[in-house]
Amino acid sequence: MSSTAYDRSGNAYSFQDEIEKAHYKKSGLTFIEVLRNHIKLPRDTNGRKMSMDTLHVSFIVEKDGQLSSYKILGEVSQPLKDAVFAGLDKISGWTPQKVFGIPYRTEITFPLSEISGFSGNYYVKHVDWKERIVKDN
């Protein structure tokens, strides 16, 4: 299927699929790797680097692909929160969810660690995230 849809302002959007999920330019695993490389972990009171392996982060992918409205779910120290948010500021390459080709602001909730294990004879890594369309500002 291929067609054209129009938003409320009359802008035309061509599309192939009715719904296109939000996605990072390569994969969710790539997003985690890139984000982890951009985060400078702070140290705790004992001098050890803080862990972010159990954190879940939420953000909005704007219609133009920029990230905004960062949140960390659960309790976390301010220095760790600041480090994760600084890492998110350096990320680009997201595409928001599209419905009939029209981009929508999309909230993504993402774990900062991957799930790994065996699937048949293969060792696989993957990441599961949640997404939902949010109202315009």
Question: What tens digit of pLDDT does each residue of 93-114 get?
Answer: 999 999 999 999 999 998 887 5
- Give domain status of residue 46, yes or no: yes
- Give domain status of residue 99, yes or no: no
- Give domain status of residue 35, yes or no: yes
Number of domains in the chain: 1
The pTM assigned to this predicted structure is: 0.84
Domain that holds residue 54: 25-92+105-133
**3 state DSSP class of 37:** helix
- Give domain status of residue 78, yes or no: yes
Give per-residue pLDDT as tens, 27-84: 888 888 899 899 999 998 899 998 888 889 999 999 999 999 999 998 899 999 999 9
